[in-house]
Amino acid sequence: MKISVADANILIDLIELSLDQDFFELPFEIWTTKSVMLELHDSQQNILVDYMDKFALNIDDSPINEDLKFSRSLTIADQSVLCFAYNKKALLLTGDKPVRKWCANHNIEVHGILWVLDQLIENNLIHESKGARKLSYLMSINNRLPEDQCLIRLKKWKS
């Protein structure tokens, strides 16, 4: 089973879209870090604690690897997921550009929320029509998404 580590922005989007339950049914061993959990609001943490109790979400609390070089633009939470992904050869789920850039420079597989939606559909956890509705809503609240990639998916999922 592939190990994946989720950054805060992915978890926040999934909770906002009410797709957290579907996400934790994907065929991945899903992790995040204590630092990421601390970035979340109490209500978001409470939702995720239920998945921890069901052993669907694992929390890493390892110290930051001092041998890895990080730019100042990377927060402690960013560094924590990068260390985890680097050390475990895990897939990193994030929408954060500096994190994605670091991954590219260190040969870490990285994907964002659009890929997660693709996986939910490919694994028959949600129907394409639901994916289209959720993506349309996400586009209305998140202006950082790549519009061209969103429109490609919307066209495919609505047909």
pLDDT in tens, 26-62: 999 999 999 999 999 999 999 999 999 999 999 999 9
27 with 96, same domain? Answer: yes
Domain limits for position 66: 2-114
52 with 11, same domain? Answer: yes
Indicate whether 18 belongs to any domain: yes
Work out the angle at residue 62's Cα, subtended by the Cα atoms of residues 59 and 65, and round it to the nearest 5 degrees.
135
Kindly state the average pLDDT of the residues 3-25: 98
143 with 73, same domain? Answer: no
107 with 132, same domain? Answer: no
Q: How many CB atoms lie within 10 A of CB 2?
A: 12
Question: Any residues with CB less than 8 A from the CB of 109 and at least 6 apart, and which?
Answer: 91, 92, 103
110 with 131, same domain? Answer: no
CB of 157 closer than 8 Å to CB of 120: no
* CATH number for 32: 3.40.50.1010
Kindly state the average pLDDT of the residues 125-131: 98
7 with 80, same domain? Answer: yes
140 with 90, same domain? Answer: no
Helix axes 42-53, 8-16, angle to 10 degrees: 90
DSSP reduced 3-state for 63: coil
**Backbone phi, psi, residue 95, to 5°:** -115, 0
Indicate whether 31 belongs to any domain: yes
66 with 19, same domain? Answer: yes
pLDDT digits (tens, 9 = 90+) for 79-107: 999 999 999 999 999 999 999 999 999 99
What confidence category does residue 1 fall into, taking pLDDT thresholds of 50, 70 and 90? confident
DSSP reduced 3-state for 6: strand
Indicate whether 119 belongs to any domain: no
